[in-house]
Structure 1
Amino acid sequence: MEALVAEFVAFVRSRAMPEPFVAAYQQIARQFLAAFPGVPPEHFGVEEVDAFLRRAEQTGASEQQLKNARTATEALVWYMKNRARPSLQPPPAAGPPTRTEERVSFIRDVQVADLGACRSSDLSSRGIFIETLATLNVGDELELSFRLEHEDPPVTLSARVVYAHPMGAGLAFRQVEPQVQSRIDRYLAMARGGD
């Protein structure tokens, strides 16, 4: 079991998942696999995910914990079914990153048209990273809505997928209205400590 968890964690980490999420995925993967000791990895599916979530709910898990557990266990099941694919091997180093904007940690619910609720992990003045198991392709156009602060009115804008992998996507904002850009920039300055 530990070898499989380590392999899954290496995969998650290779996909630029922020470290707090990597640790959470690791913990949930261990709990999930331990809950079904007699099931071979390639036989895991929706039934085991649902049973695991029912058990978590019965032990008092919050709605957010259940949502996080579903995301992590579905990612693990997907990985176990697809781990032999060559495309899941880490890509070769491609030179320096092309990102020009500093990102800040940004753990929020993000509503995405046609996808529903997703979870973000970081934000910059030009984009956001969302976690989703939905298949997204580079170039896809999305409509997003999220709150910068929990009591603020939501920010609604368009974005394009610029980076996609099986558990999430990097999105670049498109045609941001000046007042929305100003709100994002103010939030980022505050999050960076008033820089």
Structure 2
Amino acid sequence: MERRVSARYPVQFTLDFLGQHTVGVGSASDLSTEGCAVEGNLVVHKGWNLELRLYLPGQDLPMEVVAAVQWTKGQKFGLKFLRMEPEQQERLRRFISTLEAGPTR
């Protein structure tokens, strides 16, 4: 069984996702440096890769990330971040550092 290595933070934000035959929007939560949970407007399937635009609170431009669907439950699903540009990784790291003073799960 794979164990989570990074803390999750209960922040809410919107995202757009694009798959091979899917375009959707969702509300993300439980953010970590490794991924997040999403409540989407449609069903996706485990194993799908999705291109994401994350609209993090307080940031003007969206982050672009490629992620894999790790689990699904109806329209809820978990994502593991696969690829992002180094500057996007740094933006995410800085954003999460602002959350570290708050509660984790």
TM-score range, shorter chain: 0.7 to 0.9
CA displacement, residues 115-170 of structure 1 (integer Å, 9 cap, x when unaligned): 32211122100101110252222110101102223342110111000111113111
Q: Which amino acid aligns with 1:101?
A: S
Matched, 1:153 2:61: yes
TM-score (norm: length of structure 2): 0.82
Calculate percent identity across the aligned residue pairs: 27
Asked if 1 retains the 8 angstrom alpha-carbon contact of 2:65 and 2:81, the reply is yes
Q: Distance in 2 between matches of 1:188 and 1:134?
A: 27
Show structure 1 runs of 4+ deviating over 3 A. none
| 1:175 equivalent in alignment to 2:92 | no
SS where residue 30 of structure 2 aligns?
Answer: strand
Counterpart residue identity of residue 49, structure 2? E
More strand by share: 2
Structure number with greater Rg is: 1
Per the normalisation by structure 1, the TM-score is 0.47
Among 89, 95, 99, the alignment partner of 1:187 is 95
CA RMSD of aligned residues (A): 1.9
After superposition, give the CA deviation of every residue in 1:76-116 in whole Å (9 maximum; x if it has no partner): xxxxxxxxxxxxxxxxxxx7x72111110121111112332
Determine which structure has greater relative contact order: mean sequence separation of CA pairs < 8 Å that are 6+ residues apart, divided by chain length: 2
Query: Structure 1 residue aligned with 2:49, among 135, 141, 150?
Result: 141
Matches within 5 A, 1:9-28: none
Looking at structure 1, the residues matched to 53 and 41 of structure 2 have their Cα atoms a distance apart, in angstroms, of: 18
Contact 1:161 1:169 (8 Å CA) reproduced: yes
1:22 match: none
**Number of equivalenced pairs:** 99
Q: Which runs of 5+ in 1 are unaligned?
A: 1-94
